[in-house]
Amino acid sequence: MTDTSSTPPETGFKGGVRQSMSWLHTWVGLVLGVVLYFMFITGTAGYFNAEITRWMEGTPSVSTATVSDRQMIEMGLAVLERELPEASYWGLELPGNARVTDGTIRVMGTPLDENAEFSDLHIDPTNGEIVLPRDDLRQTGGGDALYAMHYALHYMPEITAMYIVGVATMFMLVAIITGIIVHKKFFKDMFTFRPGKGQRSWLDAHNLSSVLTLPFILMITYSGLILYTYQYMPSVRAALYGGPMLDSTEPLAEHDAANAKFDQELAVASENQQFYELVADGKPATLAAFGPVVDEVEKAWGPNQIGWFEIMHPHDTAGVITAWTKASETFDYDILYFDSETGTQLVEGNTVTPNEVGDVLVNLHYGMFAKPLLRWFYFLSGLAGAAMIATGLVLWTTKRRQALRRDQLPDFGLRFIERLNAGVIVGLPVGVLAYFWANRLIPPQMEGRADWETNALFITWGLMLVHAALRRADRVWIDQLALAAAMSALVPVVGALTTDVNLVQSLVAGDWVLAGFDLTMLGFAVAFGLTASKLWRRPAVLRAEKTASIKRTPTMEPAE
C-alpha cells in the first residue's frame, strides 16, 4: 500500500486513533445517513402509531364514556362466555391503554379447535353490546404502516430489509461510539451554540442534538439491535442449542425446536416457568370469579388501571389470569398473575437473567409503557435524533464548501450530497405529509387505497428528490420547507372537508387523539414555516455561502 501523506507518524488507517475514528464517523454518517434518517423519522411517528391510525380511519370515537374496569371486564367475559366458550385464550383490551382504540373494548380469543377462527370483536362499554363492523372506517395502513417502514423499509422482501436495517443499526452504534471518541468537551458542548456562523453553527447544532439526546439515541440503537438479536446473531444459540448458524432462510421463525428449548431453559433460569410452560393439562376446571381478582389488582394498583386482562386456558387447571397496567412509571408494564381456577395470586420468581435485561431494553425501545408526557418526550427525542443525522449531513457539505479555494468549483460528490440532503431532510417529511393527504383524498371505496397511501409517500418523496436535483440551489430548501409548511397547515382543513370529523368538533367532544393529531400538524406547519421564512429573509447569508470561497478563508476549528 502506498502512503503519500507526509504527516508525522501515523499509527492507524487515517492517522491517529482520533483521526481514524473521526473519518469513520463521517464516512458512516455519509453512507448510511439517509437510511438512518428514514428510520428515525418513520420510527418516531411510531410512538403515536395508534393515534395516527385513529386519525386516518377518520371517524369519531364510538364512546368517550368512562366506565369502570370491573364493569368492562364483566361485559367482555360475558361476551366471550357466549361467543367462544371453547377457548385456549381469552383477552380483553380496555380503552385508555397505549393502544388507543375508538373507545370500545376489544375482545380477542383463540378457539380450542385449531381450525376454527375467531376474529376480534368490539364492545361498546356504555351498553355492553357488540359494535357491528364499521363500514365508515377508511381502509388505511395507518400509523402501523408508517412505523413498520422503520424496520421493514418498503418495496422489498422483509428479509432484505432486515439485513439492511441491521447493518445500518450496527454502524449507527459504531457512529455513536466513534462520535464519543472524537468528542471530548461533552459538557461544554451541551451549552454551546453559536448561531449564524456557517460551519461552526452546524457543528454546534450537531453536537447539541447528539449530546443532549445521547442516552436516548444509544438506548434506541442498542435496543433496536436487541430486538432482532437472535436473528442477527444466531450463532451462540445455534452452537449451544443446535440450529442453523446463519438463520437466513426463516429469520422470523420463532418457534423452531432449538428456540423452544432455549426459551424453556430461560424460563427455568428466571424461576418463572409457571408463566411460560402454559400448556393445558387437559383437566377441566371452572374459571374463578373475576371480582376477587379485580379486588386484588385494585389493591395493588388503585382503581381503573387495567389495560389488558387475559386468561390462558380459561377452563383448564393449568390456566393463568394476567392483568397488565395501562401504562406505568417503570420501564415495563406492571403485570399481576393469578391462578385461573382458584383466583389466588401467583408470585414471580425474582432471579434476574440477562435475557430479562434484554426484555427491559426492548420495552424501552417500544415505549409502550409510557404515559402521555413521557411518550411526547420519546417523540421529541426521536425528532432530535433525526435532527442529529440531518445536521451531520449538512455539516459535511458546509465544511467542504468552506474549504474550497477561490478558484475551485465544487466537485460532483459535493453537489450531489448537497442536493440529496435537501431532498431527504425536507423531502421525506413532505412525503409523510403526502401520506396523510392521500388518506383523505383517495376515495374511501377505492380498491387498494391503503397501498396507494404508501405509494403517495414514495412518489412525493421521489418528486422532492427530482426537485432538489433541478431547482436553483439557493431555492431548494426554501421551496420544500414552504411546501411542507403549507401541507401540514392544510391537513386539518383537508380532513374537515373529506370526513365527518374536524378539529373544532374533536376539541368540543374532548377527543384528544383526533384533536392532538391536527394540532401537531399545525405545530409542524409553524416550525417548517419559520425555517422557510428565516432562509428567505437572509438571502445575503445564502449568497455568502454560495461564494464562501471568495469571502471567507477556510477556517479551522479553534485550537483546543
Partner 1 sequence: MKEVSLDAAAPRRSGKSRSLTPGYRLEILSRSIVAIVGGFVATSAICIAVALVLSKSDLMPRAAATSLTTLISWIIWSCVAMWAFYERRLWRLALQLGGVTAAFAALSLALL
Binding site for partner 1 (CB under 8 A): 1, 10-24, 27, 167, 170-171, 173-174, 177-178, 182-183, 203, 222, 225-226, 229-230, 233, 235-237, 239-241, 245, 262, 265-266, 268-269, 353-355, 357-358, 399-400, 402-405, 408, 411, 413, 554-557, 559-560
Minimum gap (Å) between residue 329 Cβ and partner 1: 25
Helix count and strand count (H, E) for the chain: 23, 8
Of 177 and 466, the one with the shorter C-beta distance to partner 1 is 177
Of 63 and 169, the one with the shorter C-beta distance to partner 1 is 169
Rg (CA), the chain: 27
Of 18 and 70, the one with the shorter C-beta distance to partner 1 is 18
Alpha-carbon dihedral sign for residues 543, 546, 547, 548 = positive
Minimum gap (Å) between residue 7 Cβ and partner 1: 9
Cell numbers that stand for 386 in this block = 433525526
Task: Spell out the residues 6+ positions from residue 523 whose beta carbon is closer than 8 angstroms to its own.
Answer: none
Cell numbers that stand for 422 in this block = 435537501
Comparing CA positions, the residue from 294, 338, 345 lying closest to residue 313 is 338
Which residues are 309's β-sheet partners?
92, 323
Minimum gap (Å) between residue 206 Cβ and partner 1: 10
Minimum gap (Å) between residue 408 Cβ and partner 1: 5
Minimum gap (Å) between residue 200 Cβ and partner 1: 10
Q: Find out whether 315 and 226 touch, Cβ atoms under 8 Å.
A: no
Comparing CA positions, the residue from 478, 486, 471, 476 lying closest to residue 536 is 478
With vertex at residue 332, the alpha carbon angle to CA 331 and CA 335, rounded to the nearest 5 degrees, is: 150
Minimum gap (Å) between residue 364 Cβ and partner 1: 14
Minimum gap (Å) between residue 237 Cβ and partner 1: 5
Comparing CA positions, the residue from 428, 380, 434, 427 lying closest to residue 48 is 380
In the numeric block, the cell 389466588 is attached to 344
Of 17 and 65, the one with the shorter C-beta distance to partner 1 is 17
Comparing CA positions, the residue from 255, 424, 276, 264 lying closest to residue 337 is 276
Q: Give the whole-angstrom CA distance, residue 313 versus residue 339.
A: 11
In the numeric block, the cell 455513536 is attached to 176
Of 10 and 295, the one with the shorter C-beta distance to partner 1 is 10
Minimum gap (Å) between residue 252 Cβ and partner 1: 17
Minimum gap (Å) between residue 315 Cβ and partner 1: 32
Q: Give the whole-angstrom CA distance, residue 410 versus residue 393.
A: 16
Of 53 and 178, the one with the shorter C-beta distance to partner 1 is 178
Minimum gap (Å) between residue 246 Cβ and partner 1: 8
Of 335 and 360, the one with the shorter C-beta distance to partner 1 is 360
Give Cα 270 to chain centroid, integer Å: 29
Of 233 and 346, the one with the shorter C-beta distance to partner 1 is 233
Q: Find out whether 161 and 153 touch, Cβ atoms under 8 Å.
A: yes
Q: Give the whole-angstrom CA distance, residue 515 versus residue 493.
A: 12
Q: Find out whether 110 and 87 touch, Cβ atoms under 8 Å.
A: yes
Minimum gap (Å) between residue 173 Cβ and partner 1: 5
Of 82 and 405, the one with the shorter C-beta distance to partner 1 is 405
Of 21 and 306, the one with the shorter C-beta distance to partner 1 is 21
Q: Give the whole-angstrom CA distance, residue 17 versus residue 59.
A: 58
Return phi, psi of residue 539, to 5°. -65, -30
Of 21 and 123, the one with the shorter C-beta distance to partner 1 is 21
Minimum gap (Å) between residue 557 Cβ and partner 1: 4
If one counts every other C-beta atom within 10 angstroms of the C-beta of residue 394, the result is: 20
Of 201 and 502, the one with the shorter C-beta distance to partner 1 is 201
Q: Where are the alpha helices (DSSP H) in 442-472?
A: 449-470
**Which amino acid type is present at position 381?**
S
Q: Give the whole-angstrom CA distance, residue 434 versus residue 494.
A: 12
Minimum gap (Å) between residue 351 Cβ and partner 1: 9
Comparing CA positions, the residue from 355, 150, 374, 360 lying closest to residue 264 is 355
Q: Find out whether 475 and 543 touch, Cβ atoms under 8 Å.
A: no
Of 48 and 232, the one with the shorter C-beta distance to partner 1 is 232
Of 202 and 436, the one with the shorter C-beta distance to partner 1 is 202
If one counts every other C-beta atom within 10 angstroms of the C-beta of residue 245, the result is: 11
If one counts every other C-beta atom within 10 angstroms of the C-beta of residue 556, the result is: 7
Minimum gap (Å) between residue 560 Cβ and partner 1: 6
Taking each helix axis as running N to C, give the angle between helix 214-227 and helix 372-403, from 0 to 180 degrees, rounded to the nearest 10: 100
